[in-house]
Amino acid sequence: MRKSLMEILCCPVCKGDLELIVVEESGEEVLEGTLRCAACRVDYPVSEGIPNLLPETACED
């Protein structure tokens, strides 16, 4: 995922701002990391450059 996407991304649960925690990157591309919502304390993984913004409750159904 490109770092520039941070300008338009928000938490799907509370619509709060997300913080990007980078584990692995290549230039402007984040390959591995976490998107964390400071407001509701939910973490969303970034794996192989793809952010997974599905809330946990949606994954359990």
Question: What residue spans define the domains of the chain?
Answer: 3-60
Element (H, E) at 29: strand 29-37
* 11-61 pLDDT, tens digit each: 999 999 999 999 999 999 999 999 999 899 999 999 999 999 998 765 554
Q: Is 54 helix (H, G, I), strand (E, B) or coil?
A: coil
Q: Is 46 helix (H, G, I), strand (E, B) or coil?
A: strand
Name 18's bridge partners: 37
Q: Please report the pLDDT score of residue 57 as a whole number.
A: 65
Pairwise CA distance, residues 49 & 52, whole Å:
10
Phi first, then psi: what are they for 45, rounded to 5°? -75, 150
